[in-house]
Structure 1
Amino acid sequence: MAKTTKTLKLTFLNGKNKKTSVTLGDAVDNLTAEQVRGAMTTIAQANVFEKDGVKNYVTPQSASYIERTVSDIFNDGDADQAESADKQD
């Protein structure tokens, strides 16, 4: 069975003008550009993320939804979990 997940990837420039990003799982669907840009601006203005003396998430650059579909060919782990649940009943 195929399982599709959707994440929201926020891309910023850091203090050295290099791209850095954060990916959020289970993001709200159908956010507008204005909503996401506003949230990214708030993150940038908070100025609380830094690594090795370089500020991260300084300038918002882009935001994208990323959909990922996984289609199992087989998954013996699912059968083991089902058997384990049956034994607990």
Structure 2
Amino acid sequence: MTKTSKTLKLIFKNDHHKVSTLSLPYASVNLTEAEVKEVMDTIAKENIFAKEGVGLYTEPQAAQYVERTINPIFTTAKSKHPIAPAIN
């Protein structure tokens, strides 16, 4: 059984002008450009995400949906791999 998922990727520059990506796997797939830009501007303005003193999402750069398709070849009944489908 093929499984497809979409993840919204928000791409920012951090305080050190390096790329930081925020991945949202459960975001609506019907968001408009204006809605996404507004949220990204708010995230940058609030500057609440940091790691080791570096603001992670300080300058919005881009946003995109990334689609992932999984085409299983086989799986065993005992498989506990998170992407393996349940076997009934």
TM-score, structure 2 normalization? 0.85
Percent of residue pairs identical: 45
Q: Equivalent residue of 2:16, what SS?
A: coil
How far 1:53 moved relative to its partner? 1.5
Partner AA of 1:55 in structure 2? G
Q: Equivalent residue of 1:44, what SS?
A: helix
Partner AA of 1:47 in structure 2? N
Correspondence for 2:36: 36
**Which structure shows the bigger proportion of residues in helix conformation?**
1
Instruction: Give me the CA root mean square deviation.
Output: 1.0
**Match status 1:16 vs 2:16:** yes
Q: How many residue pairs are counted as aligned between the two chains?
A: 80
Q: Tell me, which stretches of 5 or more residues in structure 1 are unaligned?
A: 83-89
- 1:1-89 matches, cutoff 5 A: 1-77=1-77, 78-79=86-87, 82=88
Deviation string, structure 1 residues 57-78 (Cα, Å, up to 9, x no partner): 0000000000000011111233
Q: Which has the larger radius of gyration?
A: 1
Q: Tell me, which stretches of 5 or more residues in structure 2 are unaligned?
A: 78-85
TM-score, structure 1 normalization? 0.84
The whole-number CA distance in structure 1 between the counterparts of 2:45 and 2:25 is 23
